[in-house]
Amino acid sequence: MEKTFAALGDPTRLAVINLLRDRPHRAGELASALHMSAPALSRHLRVLRKSGLIADDEPDSDARVRLYRLQPAAFASMRDWLTEVEAFWGGELEAFKLHAESAPPESGA
Asked if pLDDT for residue 79 goes beyond 80, the answer is yes
- pLDDT on residue 107: 67
Please state which of the ranges 6-20, 48-62, 68-82, 94-108 shows the lowest mean pLDDT.
94-108
Average pLDDT over residues 22-47: 94
CA angle 96, 82, 80 (to 5 degrees): 125
pTM to 2 decimal places: 0.71
Q: With contact defined as beta carbons under 8 Å apart, do 30 and 41 qualify?
A: yes
